[in-house]
């Protein structure tokens, strides 16, 4: 076969396959599936919201329990929301620890994420591995380790041990978030600021930090959500003071009070509203 | 006259700069110290605990009893195997459920991609304990699902879903599916649509375009999804406790570890078992990365 | 399980999240470093967890001694932590008034009481407070109620309970029944005062069960598959099974235990078992998840009498008898208000309040005079209330008849190595 041809060969292309007109119904398979999936995902939420309006009779425990069958519509539980002091206290603990640990984790994790994104330093590989381990460790292992640690030291278990533990497991998540954001930043903006006479520190605060802010905020929200949601580690490191998920888990023995579902509904609606607000502001920004 | 060469900062990667400042250490130190004190040292404390002997009554003494590990595996090997099995089932199920959703949102989501992702993450606003409890409600013997079916007569009166492996696996899958979708979505979203167009131009139908172009390009996401799903699935114990109720055959290794610490007070055995679990996870993750090529996992 | 909330609008985060950045080489390098750190471990936890010497009582002037008690003042708040369904209730009232006997204490003494029905199992509760006790810190509870058994014995032996002041319990001294004074597990009532006593037997829901269930063997019937429950604590199932097999649990040998373990394993293998339960069995039988279950006497009688939807419940002993146990009030170390605790514990030895308890929770009262008040009230009552009180007054499980007493046995008391032997044999059955 000649290596070079001097005139274009006529290539015989196969006849184009006539596109079959797409049957109407196949177009709807995937979207229907996705809708069904979203329904499946949200189904327990609807149940919780629904059963927060369910009537119930008193149980043998210290408070009325939600029944698994529908007994009738009532809004009385919304009025009696703070009736159970332990439940209210556990929610307060959860919110407090959530906020404090998220703040601490965000502060620490942001610095760590920056360091990882910007610099090559000795021990960087080890730090990476530490972060990987921290994220990938099963919570039961973390909880058991923290329990062993606090017992060996004889430290009082309580809100302080909870704060320390929650901050610990959130740091890595914040660091990864901020690192991703920092890695995508345009360094030239910072350099431009310095070219215009800013000192590195000023450039950092006036240019880098605002650019990083979405990542930092995302990390903060992530840390807060992780802390609010945490059950396993809290069960191992809490003392007399309980957190909301552990209180709920304990209450499953004697039956869940309807107040739990009311709180869950309120938290859910608040979170959803916040997320929507966030979404709208983000849309406008980008 | 020489023109000063302006370095093009777009091209100079940070690591080329000969910076030897203390900045990274200062930045990283606080977080690293926190992690050292509250992650590394507790792990060491647990390692120490796992080598001790004794009872809650008589106290525990450090005897460097490595047999604790072999004992723990011998006594509880079945739970480890069961947890791994459940982890595989959950991961496969989650992938099968999640992939079409991720695909659809990435390719056909259009302007509403964010909306759909938001809807996906909606359940996370309620603590996962409460979500699991909600499932125990939904699946209870005379709850809204089974109760209705029983009153119609489609199911025998004595039928139950709670207390079976199916309930536990279904619960774990439900809780983890959003973790599966996200990495899949990310990698699918990055697939260059023009490649799909090119495939169609080369006379492939939609199925072939998917199998030969889209799916292989999404594999990094699949690998990440597998990791993100299987690790929490294997170590889970809440679903087994709430939905399985310690029915024979439903408990997982997490339940055993929790029971050793918070019921039997056999701390060395619990610690040894926790380490075995951790070792299995880390070794598994490393082997997984090696088999599939570390490059795919460490893509930067 | 980790739970990550993703800021859905930021793909950079998601990308970063799904990248892994270790290589094999780095992994092995750091594994090696970790092994060296194990040397640190021996320094860190050299003492080990739980190195306690056996307690021999309070040190002179220490917590629990007479001098120490003399210096204590009553505080203004008591944390009373108990089992569910154990205190009289009046559901028509909200708040503290809903527990009449407790409310009268609050009114009379002015001391506020936080009552928590948080104890669902001795093992779990003890494991939860043990770290604080070991570290010598306040557990957050002033009165706790623990059943006689491994956990109570361990707490006494490790010195985790405050020795009670014999001068602060006049009602107890005057009214306690002989069976509850100076018990085997706490000679001289140094640490405990009985709350109520009860029996472990079988409960079943006649809505689903046609026959009378009086043996554990009947529970293994496949037609009850998925609706049978058993206890998973350190004492009930084991001892009751030995009774089923005709063995006296109090004098049982390790061979007997093995027989009981084999029998219990049949529940795991047969597929009839819905689960292994603690206090949660009551919720399960009320939800109709369980049709037959091991149960505690008063729980079932209380449900049957006072809740119409549970009128179909029945409680029976085995053909061979039943197990009897005692739940005991005690004060953990470093309690904030030990004086108040003793006042409250002694309050319930007044026959009036003891009667109020038994009327509701249908358990055996440690105060014979209180029991007599219940029987008197049964005679004097009219109408529906009379029926309820009559049922309690004539129930052999609340006022044991001589016939039943012959067939009532205590838990096997375990000592030394037996504890580990027993637990290693039975614990694997409960999580399988």
DSSP string, B111-127: GGHHHHHHHHHGGGGS-
Which residues does chain B have within 8 Å of residue A145's beta carbon, measured at their own beta carbons?
39, 42-43, 45-46, 274
**B27 domain residue, yes or no:** no
Residue C275 lies inside a defined structural domain of this protein: yes
Residue C8: band (very low, low, confident or very high) from pLDDT cuts 50, 70, 90: very low
Please indicate whether, in this complex, the C-beta atoms of B231 and A138 are within 8 angstroms of each other: yes
With contacts defined as CB-CB under 8 Å, which chain C residues touch A181? 10, 12-13, 16
Q: Is C430 on the interface with B (CB under 8 A)?
A: yes
Q: Under a CB-based contact definition with an 8 Å cutoff, are residues C16 and A183 in contact?
A: yes
- What is the total residue count of chain C? 432
C263, C308: one domain = yes
Separation of alpha carbons B110 and B91, rounded Å:
28
Neighbours of B175 (CB within 10 A): 24
Q: Which residues in chain B touch residue C35, judged by CB atoms under 8 angstroms apart? A: none
Task: Kindly state the average pLDDT of the residues C258-272.
Answer: 93
Q: Three-state DSSP class for C395? A: coil
Please judge whether B142 and A109 are an interchain contact, meaning their C-beta atoms are less than 8 angstroms apart: no
Residue C8 covered by a domain: no
List the single residue in B59, B227, B298 with the smallest CB-CB distance to C51.
B59
* C139 touches C313 (CB < 8 A): no
Residue B126 lies in a domain: yes
Does residue B118 register a pLDDT over 90? no
10-residue mean pLDDT profile of chain A (286 residues): values are: 56 58 72 90 90 72 68 83 88 93 94 87 86 87 90 84 93 88 78 81 82 84 87 88 90 86 90 79 61
Cα–Cα distances in Å, from C164 out to A23, C129, C192, C348? 84, 20, 7, 16
* Within-domain flag for C123: yes
Q: Which residues of C touch A279 (CB under 8 A)?
A: 8-9
- Identify the residue with better confidence: A106 or C51: A106
Sequence-distant (6+) residues with CB within 8 A of C209 are C224, C291, C292
Q: How many CB atoms lie within 10 A of CB C429?
A: 21
3-state secondary structure string across B16-55: HCCCCCCHHHHHHHHHHHHHHHHHHHHHHHHHHHHCEEEE
Both C73 and C175 in one domain: the answer is: yes
pLDDT: is B118 or B133 the higher one? B133
- Biggest CA–CA distance in chain C, Å, is 85
In this model, does residue B295 exceed pLDDT 50? Answer: no
Q: Taking the CA atoms of B74, B79, B84 and B89 in sequence, report the sign of the dihedral they define.
A: positive
A140/B177 CB distance under 8 A: no
Give residue-wise pLDDT tens across range B199-219.
888 877 777 777 878 888 888
Chain A contacts of B87, Cβ < 8 Å? none
| Minimal Cβ distance to A125: which of C5, C26, C136 | C26
Last residue in a domain, options C343, C358, C380: C380
Q: Pick C120's closest partner by Cβ from A183, A253, A282.
A: A253
Which of A59, A232, A252 lies at the smallest CB-CB distance from C1?
A: A232
By Cβ distance, the residue of C16, C49, C114 closest to A180 is: C16
Which residue out of B156, B264, B270 would a mutagenesis test of the C interface target, given it has the greatest number of C Cβ atoms within 10 Å? B264
Give which of C38, C49, C421 to mutate to test B binding, by max B Cβ within 10 Å.
C49
C215 touches chain B (CB under 8 A): no
C4, part of any domain? no
- Alpha-carbon distances of C350 from A251, C74, C85, C192, C345, rounded to whole Å: 32, 20, 20, 17, 10
The answer as to whether B10 is a domain residue is no
Are C388 and C305 within 8 A, CB to CB? yes
Residue C19 in contact with partner chain B when CB distance is under 8 A = yes
Report d(CA A126, CA C298) in Å as an integer. Answer: 59
Q: B31, B92, B50, B42: which is closest to B273 by C-alpha?
A: B50
Is the domain of C284 the same as that of C361? Answer: no
Cα separations (Å) of C166 from B214, C190, C196? 81, 8, 20
Structure confidence at residue B146 (pLDDT): 86
Residue A115 Cα, gap to closest chain B Cα (Å): 5
C50 within domain boundaries: no
Domains: count for chain C: 2
Answer yes or no: is pLDDT of C19 > 90: no
**Alpha-carbon distance B42 to B65, whole Å?**
19
The verdict on a CB contact (< 8 Å) between A173 and C30 is no
Regarding whether C165 and C216 lie in a shared domain, the answer is no
Residue A21: DSSP 8-state = P
CA distance C252 to chain A (A): 32
Rounded to 5 degrees, what angle do the CA atoms A240, C333, C367 make? 100
Nearest by CB to residue A17, choosing from B103, B140, B203, is B203
Residues C232 and C248 in one domain: yes
- pLDDT value of residue B160: 87
- Half-sphere exposure of A53 toward its Cβ, with a 13 Å CA cutoff? 8
**pLDDT tops 50 at residue C405:** yes
How close does chain C come to B155, measured CA to CA in Å?
A: 14
> Are B271 and B49 within 8 A, CB to CB?
yes
Looking at beta carbons, which residues of chain C come within 8 Å of A218?
7, 10, 13
Q: State the Cα–Cα distance between residues A208 and A206, nearest whole angstrom.
A: 6
In a domain, C131, yes or no: yes
Kindly state whether residues C278 and C398 are assigned to the same domain: yes
What is the rounded distance in angstroms from the CA atom of residue C302 to the CA atom of residue C363? 9
Whether residue B23 is contained in a domain is answered as: no
CA distance, residue B263 to nearest chain C CA (Å): 5
pLDDT digits (tens, 9 = 90+) for B58-104: 888 888 888 899 999 999 999 999 999 999 999 999 999 999 999 88
Same structural domain, C183 and C100 = yes
Contact B146, B64 (CB under 8 A): no
Q: What is the DSSP letter of A117?
A: H
- To the nearest whole angstrom, how far is the Cα of C112 from the nearest Cα of chain A? 14
Question: In C45-134, which residue ranges form alpha helices assigned H by DSSP?
Answer: 66-71, 100-109, 122-134
Distance of CA C187 to CAs A241, B29, B57, Å? 34, 57, 20
Nearest CB partner across the interface for A226, out of C2, C85, C131: C2
Give, to the nearest 10 degrees, the angle between helix A244-251 and helix A85-118. Answer: 130
Closest to B234 in 3D by CA, of B47, B79, B72: B79
Residue C29 lies inside a defined structural domain of this protein: no
Distance CA A14, CA A8 (A): 18
Angle (nearest 5°) at CA C339 between C338 and C343: 115
Same domain flag for C424 and C289: yes
Tell me which residue range forms the domain holding B139.
66-299
Going C209 to C215 to C216 to C218, the CA torsion angle's sign is: negative
Q: Do B267 and A119 touch (CB under 8 A)?
A: no
Instruction: Tell me the backbone φ, ψ of residue C147, rounded to 5 degrees.
Output: -75, 150
Provide the Cα torsion B17, B22, B23, B24; round to 10°: 80
**Of residues A169, A181, A250, nearest to C13 (C-beta):** A181
Q: Which runs of E-coded beta strand occur in C206-353?
A: 228-231, 273-277, 292-296, 313-316, 322-330
Assess if residue B33 is contained within a domain.
Answer: no
Do residue B35 and residue A66 have CB atoms under 8 angstroms apart? no
Global confidence as pTM: 0.85
Residue pairs between chains A and C whose CB atoms are closer than 8 Å: 144
- Dist. CA A208–CA A181, nearest whole Å: 11
Q: Are residues C212 and C337 in the same domain?
A: no
* Residues in chain A within 8 Å Cβ distance of C116: 62, 86
Q: Residue ranges of the alpha helices (H) in B139-164? A: 146-152
Q: How far is Cα C55 from Cα C74, in angstroms, rounded to an integer?
A: 26
Asked if residue B181 lies in contact with residue B120, where contact means CB atoms within 8 angstroms, the answer is yes
Among candidate residues C189, C236, C176, the one with its CA nearest the CA of residue C409? C236
Q: What angle do CA C368, C402, C360 make, to 5 degrees?
A: 45
Taking CA atoms, what residue in A is nearest to C309? A57
Asked whether the beta carbons of C172 and C306 are under 8 A apart, the reply is no
Is residue C415 within 8 angstroms of chain B, CB to CB?
A: no
pLDDT band for C13, please (50, 70, 90 cuts).
Answer: very low
Q: Which domain holds residue C73?
A: 63-197+326-380
Cβ–Cβ of A149/B41 closer than 8 Å? yes
- Which residues of chain C make contact with B238, given a CB cutoff of 8 A? 1
Chain B residues within an 8 Å CB radius of A69 = 142-144, 147
Claim to verify: residue C319 and residue C248 sit in the same structural domain: yes
Contacts of A16 in chain B (CB under 8 A): 203
Domain-embedded: residue B30:
no
Packing angle of the helix pair B128-138, B165-189 (nearest 10 deg): 130
> Testing the interface with C: which of A56, A177, A244, A251 to mutate, by most C Cβ within 10 A?
A177
CB contact under 8 A, A222 and C282: no
Please, what sign has the CA dihedral across residues C263, C269, C273, C276? positive
Q: What ipTM was assigned to the predicted interfaces of this complex?
A: 0.82
Q: Has residue B36 been placed in a domain?
A: no
Please report the pLDDT score of residue A283 as a whole number. Answer: 63
From CA A96, how far away is CA A228, in angstroms rounded?
9
Count up the domains in chain B and report the number: 1
Measured between its terminal Cα atoms, the distance across chain C in Å is: 22
* Rounded (5°) CA angle B51-B234-C234: 60
CB C259 within 8 Å of CB C425: no
Question: What is the DSSP code string of A41-69?
Answer: HHHHHHHHHHHTTB-----SSSS----SS
User: Pick from C227, C236, C209: which is nearest to C294 by CA?
Assistant: C236
- Does C236 have pLDDT greater than 70? yes
A168: DSSP letter: H
Domain of C105, CATH number, reads 3.40.190.10
Q: Three-state DSSP class for C194?
A: strand
Give the CATH number for residue B284: 1.10.3720.10
Pair (C330, C320) in one structural domain = no
Structural domain includes residue C414: yes
A245 vs B contacts (CB less than 8 Å): 127-130
What is the percent of chain A with per-residue pLDDT over 70, rounded to a whole number? 87
Q: pLDDT for C131-155, tens place per residue?
A: 889 888 889 999 999 999 999 999 9
The closest CB to that of C303, out of A60, A177, A184, belongs to A60
**Are C214 and C335 in a shared domain?**
no
């Amino acid at each position: 076969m000649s290596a070079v041809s001097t005139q274009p060969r006529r290539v015989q292309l196969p006849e184009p396959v006539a596109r079959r007109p797409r049957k109407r119904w196949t177009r709807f398979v995937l979207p229907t599936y996705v809708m069904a999936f979203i329904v499946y995902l949200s189904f327990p939420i609807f149940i919780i919201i629904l059963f927060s309006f369910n009537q119930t009779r008193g149980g043998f425990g210290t408070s009325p329990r939600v029944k698994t069958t529908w007994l009738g519509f009532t809004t009385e539980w919304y009025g009696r929301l703070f009736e159970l002091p332990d439940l209210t206290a556990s929610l307060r603990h959860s919110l407090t620890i959530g906020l404090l640990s998220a703040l601490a984790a965000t502060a620490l994790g942001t610095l760590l994420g920056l360091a990882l994104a910007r610099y090559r330093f000795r021990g960087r590989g080890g730090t990476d591995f530490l972060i990987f381990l921290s994220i990938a460790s099963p919570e039961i292992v973390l909880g058991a380790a923290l329990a062993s640690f606090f017992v060996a030291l004889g430290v009082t278990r309580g809100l302080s041990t909870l704060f320390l533990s929650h901050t610990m497991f959130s740091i890595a998540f914040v660091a990864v978030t901020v690192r991703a954001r920092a890695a995508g930043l345009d360094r030239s903006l910072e350099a431009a600021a310095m070219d215009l006479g800013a000192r590195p520190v000023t450039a950092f605060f006036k240019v880098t930090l605002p650019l990083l802010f979405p990542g930092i905020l995302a990390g903060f929200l992530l840390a807060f959500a992780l802390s609010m949601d945490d059950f396993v580690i809290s069960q191992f490191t809490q003392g007399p003071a309980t957190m909301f998920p552990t209180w709920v888990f304990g209450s499953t023995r004697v039956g869940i009070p309807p107040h739990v579902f009311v709180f869950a509904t309120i938290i859910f609606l608040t979170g959803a509203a916040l997320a929507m607000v966030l979404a709208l502001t983000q849309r406008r920004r980008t | 006259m020489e023109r000063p060469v302006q370095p093009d900062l777009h091209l100079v990667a940070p690591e080329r700069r000969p910076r030897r400042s203390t900045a990274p250490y200062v930045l990283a130190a606080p977080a690293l110290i926190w992690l050292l004190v509250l992650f590394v040292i507790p792990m060491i404390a647990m390692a120490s605990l796992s080598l001790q002997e004794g009872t809650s009554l008589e106290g525990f003494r450090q005897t460097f009893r490595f047999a604790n590990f072999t004992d723990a595996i011998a006594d509880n090997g079945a739970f480890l195997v069961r947890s791994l099995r459940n982890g595989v089932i959950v991961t496969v199920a989650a992938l099968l459920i999640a992939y079409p959703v991720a695909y659809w949102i990435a390719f056909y989501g259009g302007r509403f991609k964010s909306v759909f992702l938001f809807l996906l993450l909606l359940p996370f606003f309620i603590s996962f304990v409460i979500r699991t409890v909600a499932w125990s409600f939904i699946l209870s013997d005379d709850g809204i699902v089974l109760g209705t079916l029983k009153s119609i007569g489609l199911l025998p009166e004595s039928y139950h879903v709670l207390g079976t492996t199916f309930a536990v696996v279904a619960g774990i899958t439900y809780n983890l599916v959003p973790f599966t979708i996200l990495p899949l979505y990310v990698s699918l979203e990055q697939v260059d649509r023009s490649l799909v167009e090119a495939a169609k131009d080369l006379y492939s139908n939609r199925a072939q375009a998917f199998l030969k172009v889209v799916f292989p390009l999404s594999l990094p996401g699949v690998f990440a999804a597998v990791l993100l799903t299987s690790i929490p699935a294997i170590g889970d114990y809440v679903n087994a406790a709430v939905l399985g109720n310690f029915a024979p055959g439903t408990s997982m290794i997490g339940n055993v570890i929790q029971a050793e610490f918070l019921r039997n007070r056999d701390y060395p055995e619990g610690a040894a078992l926790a380490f075995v679990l951790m070792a299995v996870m880390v070794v598994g993750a490393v082997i997984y990365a090696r088999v599939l090529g570390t490059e795919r996992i460490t893509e930067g | 399980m980790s739970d990550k909330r993703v800021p859905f609008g930021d793909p950079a985060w998601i990308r970063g999240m799904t990248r892994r950045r270790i290589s094999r080489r780095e992994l092995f390098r750091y594994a090696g470093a970790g092994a060296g750190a194990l040397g640190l471990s021996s320094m860190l936890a050299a003492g080990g967890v739980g190195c306690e010497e056996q307690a021999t009582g309070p040190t002179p002037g220490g917590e629990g001694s007479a001098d120490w008690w003399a210096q204590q003042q009553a505080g203004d708040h008591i944390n009373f932590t108990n089992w569910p369904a154990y205190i009289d209730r009046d559901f028509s009232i909200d708040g503290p008034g809903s527990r009449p006997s407790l409310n009268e204490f609050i009114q009379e003494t002015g001391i506020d009481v936080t009552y928590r029905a948080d104890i669902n199992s001795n093992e779990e509760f003890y494991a939860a407070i043990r770290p604080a006790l070991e570290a010598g810190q306040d557990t957050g509870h002033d009165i706790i109620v623990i059943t006689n058994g491994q956990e109570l014995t361990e707490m006494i032996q490790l010195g985790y309970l405050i020795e009670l002041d014999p001068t602060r319990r006049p009602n107890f001294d005057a009214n306690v029944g002989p069976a509850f004074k100076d018990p085997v597990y706490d000679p001289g009532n140094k640490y405990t005062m009985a709350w109520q006593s009860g029996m472990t037997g079988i409960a079943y829901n006649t809505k689903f069960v046609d026959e009378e269930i009086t043996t554990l063997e009947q529970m293994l019937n496949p037609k009850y598959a998925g609706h049978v429950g058993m206890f998973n604590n350190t004492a009930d199932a084991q001892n009751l099974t030995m009774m089923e097999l005709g063995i006296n649990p109090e004098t049982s040998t390790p061979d007997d235990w093995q027989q009981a373990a084999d029998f219990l394993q049949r529940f795991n293998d047969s597929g009839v078992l819905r689960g292994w339960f603690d206090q949660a069995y009551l919720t399960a039988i009320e939800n109709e998840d369980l049709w037959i279950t091991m149960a505690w006497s008063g729980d079932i009688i209380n449900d049957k009498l006072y809740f119409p939807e549970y009128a179909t419940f029945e409680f029976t002993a085995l053909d061979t008898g039943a197990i009897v146990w005692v739940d005991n009030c005690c004060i953990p170390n470093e309690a904030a208000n030990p004086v108040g605790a003793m006042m409250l514990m002694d309050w319930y030895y007044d026959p009036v309040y003891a009667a109020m308890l038994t009327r509701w929770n249908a358990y055996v009262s440690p105060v014979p005079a209180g029991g007599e008040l219940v029987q008197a009230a049964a005679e004097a009552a009219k109408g529906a209330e009379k029926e309820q009180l009559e049922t309690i007054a004539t129930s052999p499980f609340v006022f044991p008849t001589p016939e039943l007493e012959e067939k009532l046995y205590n838990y096997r008391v375990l000592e030394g190595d037996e504890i580990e032997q027993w637990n290693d044999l039975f614990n694997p059955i409960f999580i399988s």
